[in-house]
């Protein structure tokens, strides 16, 4: 822990990659933990894809609706706040890259590169025609255009979809040029996000992993902090 604090103090440029674990202590189930109860029999790859949505629009919509509802009562935790406070104290020194779609980093006041979109926004499934935006969508599960039937879908990145280009390019530039990469609360199994850690490591950056459990990226770590994000980030990031 002390050596990591020292590295953070020394680093000129820090890239942080966060995953669902950073929001766990806010009470947001991690991506895989969200597949409990009714959803336990599904694999995320069977719900979070365009094919799944087209085949079972109501099922996939309901899964996201439940996650949206769960977000309504939660707040950023001490980990989100510590990252936001560091960014505020050290403008331009930390690039925060997140795979999370819960908006909690943003609510804590951080500037983020959101690689996987935003859970609480909708967009059209197919390219909208003029009719789609003429009137509000017809309510339903999912809502749809009353004229052409185009579905609304959550504005998240599904498996098999491209990441937003501007965010990904900025994240790659940060991974390439940082001297410290902090990887917080991610299984490290989903690419291209996890590839940013390989990129930073290959470019000579130190890699620190914060996760109470083993992750797929542990082999790249110069140090591991086996603690929960909301507990250890405030200590790691204080000046
Ligand atoms: P996962 O749910 O796969 O993994 C959550 C990680 O957080 C695990 O490694 C846990 O050990 C760790 N964790 C749990 N509690 C923690 C805590 N309090 N502090 C720190 N770490 C903790 O979520 P992600 O790896 O973020 O993609 O998932 C990555 C992507 O896979 C998601 O963005 C989503 C998913 O499929 C898309 O939707 C495209």
pLDDT, tens digit (0-9, with 9 covering 90-100), for 58-98: 999 998 998 899 898 999 999 999 999 999 999 999 999 99
Nearest ligand 1 atom to alpha carbon 45: 36
Residue closest by Cα to atom 8 of ligand 1: 187
Q: In terms of pTM, does the model score above 0.75?
A: yes
CA torsion 228→237→92→183, rounded to 10°? -30
The CA 57 to ligand 1 mean position distance, Å, reads 25
The residue whose CA has the least distance to atom 35 of ligand 1 is: 31
Give the CA angle between residues 206, 178, 226 to the nearest 5°.
40
Digit-coded pLDDT (tens) for 10-29 = 999 999 999 999 999 999 88
How far, in Å, is the centroid of ligand 1 from the Cα of 101? Answer: 11
Give the pLDDT of the chain (239 residues) as one tens digit per residue.
899 999 999 999 999 999 999 999 999 888 767 666 556 667 777 788 999 999 999 999 998 998 899 898 999 999 999 999 999 999 999 999 999 999 999 999 999 999 999 999 999 999 999 999 999 999 999 999 999 999 999 999 999 999 999 999 999 999 999 999 999 999 999 999 999 999 999 999 999 999 999 999 999 999 999 999 999 999 999 99
For position 17, what pLDDT does the model report? Answer: 98
- Candidate list 80, 116, 198, 201, residue with the active-site label: 116
Q: Is 36 exposed, middle or buried (0-12, 13-18, 19+ CB in 10 A)?
A: exposed
**Beta carbon of 19 within 6 Å of any ligand 1 atom:** yes
For residue 67, the CA-to-ligand 1 centroid distance in Å is 15
Closest ligand 1 atom to Cα of 229:
19
What CA–CA distance (Å, rounded) separates 36 from 110? 30
């Amino acid at each position: 822990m002390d050596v990591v604090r020292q590295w953070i103090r020394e680093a000129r440029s820090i890239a942080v990659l966060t995953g669902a674990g950073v929001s766990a202590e806010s009470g947001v189930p991690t991506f895989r933990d969200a597949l409990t109860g009714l959803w336990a029999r599904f694999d995320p790859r069977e719900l979070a894809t365009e094919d799944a949505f087209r085949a079972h629009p109501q099922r996939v919509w309901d899964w996201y609706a439940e996650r949206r509802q769960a977000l309504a009562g939660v707040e950023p935790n001490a980990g989100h706040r510590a990252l936001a406070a560091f960014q505020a104290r050290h403008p331009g020194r930390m690039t925060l890259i997140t795979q999370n779609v819960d908006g909690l980093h943003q609510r804590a006041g951080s500037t983020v590169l959101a690689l996987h979109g935003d859970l609480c926004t909708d967009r059209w499934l197919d390219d909208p025609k003029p009719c789609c935006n003429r009137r509000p969508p017809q309510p339903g599960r999912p809502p749809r255009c009353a004229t052409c039937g185009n579905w609304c879908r959550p504005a998240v990145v599904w498996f098999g979809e491209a990441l937003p280009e501007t965010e990904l390019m900025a994240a790659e530039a940060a991974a390439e040029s940082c001297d410290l990469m902090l990887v917080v609360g991610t299984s490290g199994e989903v690419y291209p996000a996890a590839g940013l850690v390989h990129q930073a490591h290959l470019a000579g950056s130190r890699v620190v992993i914060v996760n109470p459990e083993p992750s797929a990226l542990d082999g790249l770590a110069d140090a591991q902090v086996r603690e929960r994000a909301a507990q250890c980030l405030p200590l790691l990031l204080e000046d």
